[in-house]
Structure 1
Amino acid sequence: MKRLSIIAFMFLCTGSAFAQDRVITKDGDVFEAYRIDIGDTYLYYTKEDKDDTVLQKIAKTDVLMVKKKDGTKIDVTEYAPASAPKPTAQAESNEQPGITQVKPDDLSAETKAANDALIKKINAPVEFDVKEKHQEDIGKKEATFGYACLGIAPNSVLCNEDIEVSMEIRRLYKASKKSPAGWDGGRYAYSLVSENPGIRFSIKNRTSKTLYLDLANTFYVTMGQSTCYYIPSSTTTSNTSSGGGSVNLGAITGALGIGGTVGTLANGVNVGGGSSNTTSNTTFSQRIIAIAPLSTVKLSPQYLFCNEEKDISTGLKYRLVKRMDRSYIYGIYANFSSESQAGTMMYGDHYVYNPENSPVKMSFFVAYSKTENSTSTNVLPSYFYLKDMLGYRYYSDNIKNNDILFLTIGITDNKRRDSFPKQ
């Protein structure tokens, strides 16, 4: 206790010499912290002042005080956020307990303009950058590859006053069938076909306060199947033996209209056993993830469609690609039968689809709260569809706009199979 008093006294007396916020614990430890936010139970902070820095937390009961760089001292045990101005009727409705799906009409004029700008950026017109020596082949030779460009429906919400959603398409590479999939950070659009295409969403906290991402109500939906980002699990370890258990609880998804049976809860328990006479430690997966102020959290990547041989839609197939290195790779192939009324896809053809007639559709729902207990949750929906299909032949045929979400596919002419629809 004497040691703690001396350290606290020295910290208070010399605090003005520090140029950064400092946290002093009841054990006498002192450390620098950025983006400090004090919640009901924890004090949240980052070790660096960067957007992608991992958010740290420490129990308020373990903290003596916070010394701000301007000399201000905060006793976290007695701290309560300053009272905010009385909310408007719209704000009050958004803070009611339960789940609220945000719509574009719910946004303020300024935020709606920002949301429209994000959608417009991704939905920008698609243009080819064709080499001069290949210009004469346009319309005369069949396409061997296709650029499939995704669009976002106008009823999507990519941002509101609190968060902003972004996404990227890469691949989930597997060296073998049993090996785990690894996220390939490099753009692979110019490979023979799109190999194991995946999509990863990022959530940015636009505010100066900590927000709480609810993974149990965050979903990616493709081919009629919804994938929840929260997989409840626990792992128990010891120095002599270990056992793993998983509690697989299906979330109630019907309320959001994203699949599942309304009002039901699918559940199952799978437990692996073991014995030990020593102390065991159990770690549980997190359902709620805190996002530091003005920081970004990247969610786990998901397969864009699936990870098995399937027909994605009429004339669009996902199939295993046989490679000499025995890697576990799927490719996407669009069939344009030369015997169909529409005929084959030619080099330079450009088919345009809209949210209503698009043969390929996906969606994403992200749920967050302003409080740790997540009693009031807001959900931002975004709806994706195949917007453009462009036929090309050469690797040098690039797309000019890098903001567009696209992947490459193989083009086939199988006279016995249905053709992919042209628009």
Structure 2
Amino acid sequence: MKKLIFFACSLMAGVSASAQDVLITKDGDVKNVYEVEVGTNAVFYKSEDKADAAILRINKTDVYMIKRKDGTKYDLGNGNNVVNNSQTAQSPQTQAAAPVATSVSAEAQRLNEEAIRRVNDYNPKYLGDDTDDRCKRLLCLLGYGKDSQIINDDVEIECITGSLNFYKLKKGIKEGVSNGAARSDVPFRDFGTEFYDNPGIKLRVKNKSGKTLYLDLGNTFIMRKGVATAYYVPSSTSTSNSSSSGMGVNLGAVAGAVGVGGALGTLASGIGVGGSSTSATVNTTYSQRVISVPPMSVKELDVQLMFPNIETYCDGFGIHGYINDIYCLRPEFSFATKESGYYNNGETHNFSEETSPVKFGFFVSYSDAENCQNEKKLAFNLYLRQIIGFDKKFQDQGIGASLLPKVIPDYKNYPCFVGAVIEGGPAKRLPKNSKFKRGDK
């Protein structure tokens, strides 16, 4: 196999800079390809340079190397993401160099620090009079981590949190989520107005400049528990329109009717029968990797589920996932013990960025050029900063609106999610949180 790959690489080295890219498999096969996209688990490409050419797929683990027509190499066989041998301008589809952080003016840095301080210094006042009662829910406030940049001279990013409702979809979460992102038609609402299950987070990107900016979703990521997922997933949708005219022999009509042949008036062998004619138009729509944000406007990215793999997300911290059916997924806390006592309404506990059981990272790439040359970036982290106990009020099958808006009315101005507190029953089978002690501030 090594000889095959060596031979393939030697062959690739001799390929001139033509209209196609080159893909080498780990078996040594060399393919001349077009419009290559490297996804999370697969590589997508075309074998023909045509707009309506089929998009082919190969597992990423089966690919050794990709060489772009501009000289850029993706060395997948050695575990390296990119080897860039070209200093020429690249399109978003062929861009390999990682975005670089842009310089930030003193005023923009001041605004960035103020925005982060507003979130991290928020300590809500509990308005309920039931602080002697055990809580059933937890408001989980998120904070920005060290060196987070959500504002620069071009862009301002706001994190919107809420709950996703999959009940209108036949297959629920399985149908409504792809690669961690929710479909655009899935309702995304405030925790206190309807559901608190399926917590999600949406980035709202504001263009503060007087020029159009271009977001590169292929270089924009969310990181859950250290695993990065791109906002862009290569995909395509094809639709076709066909029409037939003239008169055909019955044999051709029968062949088409029973599925043996193609269009009406043709046989399975492709031989036309009679005087009929057929025309067809195929339209292929591709998902957008680059989206534009006009001057002084806002673009919202797809809502991302906070915990797609919630059952194993925070193992060891007393936080666990619960799925009661295909529509409902929620984080649950089980840290109460007889020795430490139960968690009460209005009670709070603070986590540092180092001790937090929940962490997210974000990496947003953009450019002022449509081909995304010389991309800039904003990078920031979110972590579970504080939990606050409160009671519940069941509505709508037991998972609906809670008392949260009454006891902490300003929570919706800050990034957060809601978790359930479980005691006894299933909680007896779950490990308790050894790092949490009641009253430990």
TM-score normalized with structure 2 length? 0.59
Match runs of 1:278-317 below 5 Å = 278-306=280-308, 309-313=311-315, 314-317=317-320
Name which of structure 1's ranges 220-229 and 172-181 shifts more when overlaid on structure 2: 172-181
Q: 1:107 and 1:117, CA in 2 relative to 1: closer, same or farther beyond 3 A?
A: same
Contact 2:150 2:379 in 1 (8 A): yes
Partner of 1:118: 115
Q: How much is the aligned-residue C-alpha RMSD, in angstroms?
A: 2.6
2:357: which partner in 1?
359
Q: Quote the offset at 1:215 in angstroms.
A: 0.6
Identity of aligned residues (%): 29
Question: Structure 1 counterpart of 2:413, which letter?
Answer: D
1:167 is matched with which residue: 156, 159, 169? 159
Give the secondary-structure state (helix, strand or coil) at the position aligned to 1:312: coil
Give the TM-score taking structure 1 as reference length. Answer: 0.61
Distance change (3 Å), C-alpha of 1:144 and 1:329: same
In structure 1, distance between residues paired with 2:381 and 2:411: 21
> Conserved in 1, the CA contact under 8 Å of 2:125 and 2:408?
yes
Distance 2:360 2:163 in 1: 17
Offset of 1:172 from its aligned partner?
2.2
Q: How big is the shift at 1:124?
A: 2.9
Q: Distance in 2 between matches of 1:287 and 1:275?
A: 35
Q: How does 1:251-330 map to 2 (within 5 A)?
A: 278-306=280-308, 309-313=311-315, 314-322=317-325, 328-330=327-329
Matched, 1:147 2:134: no
Superposed, which structure 2 residues align to 1:174-193 within 5 Å?
174-175=166-167, 176-177=171-172, 178-180=174-176, 181=183, 182-189=185-192
Kindly provide the amino acid, as one letter, of the partner of residue 321 in structure 2.
Y
**1:143 and 1:346 in contact (8 A); partners too:** yes
Q: Would you say the 8 A contact 2:366–2:372 is kept in 1?
A: yes
Amino acid at match of 1:194: Y
In structure 2, the CA distance between the partners of 1:163 and 1:343, relative to structure 1 (3 Å rule), is same
Report what 2:201 is aligned to: 199
Match of 1:383 among 362, 381, 393: 381
Q: Which amino acid aligns with 2:154?
A: D
Which protein is richer in strand relative to its size?
1
CA distance in 1, matches of 2:320, 2:205: 31
**SS at 2:115's partner residue?**
helix
Residue number in structure 2 paired with 1:127: 124
Deviation at 1:218, TM superposition (A): 0.3
Q: 2:415 aligns with which of 385, 391, 405?
A: 405
Q: What secondary structure sits across from 1:376 in the alignment?
A: coil
User: Does the Cα contact within 8 Å between 2:214 and 2:290 map onto a contact in 1?
Assistant: yes
2:190 and 2:412 in contact (8 A); partners too: no
Q: Give the length in aligned residue pairs.
A: 282
One of 226, 229, 241 as aligned partner of 1:227: 229
Does the CA contact (< 8 Å) of 2:199 and 2:418 recur in 1? no
Aligned to 1:348: 346
| Correspondences of 1:62-141 after superposition (within 5 Å) | 98-102=97-101, 106-131=103-128, 134=129, 137-138=130-131, 140-141=132-133
Where 1:373 maps in the other structure, the secondary structure is: coil
Cα distance, 1:405 vs structure 2: 1.3
Q: For residue 101 of structure 2, what is the amino acid of its counterpart?
A: V
Q: Which runs of 5+ in 2 are unaligned?
A: 1-95, 177-182, 244-260, 264-278, 393-402
Partner deviation per Cα, 1:278-310 (whole Å, 9 max, x = no partner)? 121222222111111111111111101116644
3-state SS in 2 of match to 1:347 = coil
SS of corresponding position for 2:117? helix
Q: Summarize deviations over 1:300-350 as a string: whole Å, max 9, x none.
A: 11101116644434211121125xxxx6111221112324x5443222221
